[in-house]
Amino acid sequence: MPGRTALVRRPGPRLAEGLVTHIARTPVDTALALRQWDDYCRALRDHGWRAVEVPPADDCPDAVFIEDAMVVFRTAALIARSAAPSRRPETAGAEEAAEALGLTVHHVRAPGTLDGGDVLKIGDTVYVGRGGRTDAEGIRQLRAAFEPLGARVVPVPVEKVLHLKSAVTALPDGTVLGHPPLVGDPSPSLPFPRFLPVPEEPGAHVVLLGGPHVLLSAAAPRTAALLTTHGLHPVPVDITEFEKLEGCVTCLSVRVRALPG
């Protein structure tokens, strides 16, 4: 399937210096992280995805979390502008990769800020977390880029976690997953029509691989069992070293499901 392209970026030598905001810093095993990244990419390929490496940004410790550098909607890419200045140089390689795929490229301009991890797409609805990394101006610019393409943009407040997708992601049928201590009561405070609470924080993060297959952290076995009862096929991957830096399975790739032409 030519549209199944996942942009990934190899972890750099300064990975252990990555930012942490809502958790305590613990040592990162960079050699193990590289093996886990290889396994993550292999899981994508095993399920029909073409893993394309974005040019490295070895001076940027958090560059492996490529999802934050851009948002793709249909055949357009919005290059992000993080509220964390140390992350802004990551976007050059992301833009190069987007152009190589033939995507139409837009940019978040100063003073707006936006991280891709704050953007959850469910069909044509684009939920955008407003919190520490994404502000109202960044959301306005995302709306300007994507609404002409048919997107419906819905802001969501983010307070307890780094990004919106640190708290919630969605299943193939649009049901939103979340760990209750991080999202609170989903009704009426959150705008999701269907919400499924999960028993582990890492279980709130899934990548849709196609059909019933969903990628999730191996640190969420009870959530994997729960998803099985909903007719899904969990594909667990071990990403402990990235979780130490507030990363999750969504952060490590940008999934492009439709390419121009």
Residue showing tokens 């939920």: 127
**Residues paired with residue 7 on neighbouring β-strands, in sequence order:** 52, 254
- Cα–Cα distance between 106 and 78 in angstroms, integer? 5
Alpha-carbon torsion angle 153, 175, 114, 148, nearest 10: -30
* Token pair for 219: 């640190």
Q: Among this protein's residues, is 251 annotated catalytic?
A: yes
Do 119 and 152 meet the contact criterion of CB atoms below 8 Å apart? Answer: no
- Cα–Cα distance between 89 and 69 in angstroms, integer? 9
**Residue among 41, 60, 106, 163 flagged as catalytic:** 163
Q: Among this protein's residues, is 60 annotated catalytic?
A: no
Q: How many CB atoms lie within 10 A of CB 87?
A: 23
**Residues paired with residue 72 on neighbouring β-strands, in sequence order:** 77
Please identify every residue annotated as catalytic: 163, 251
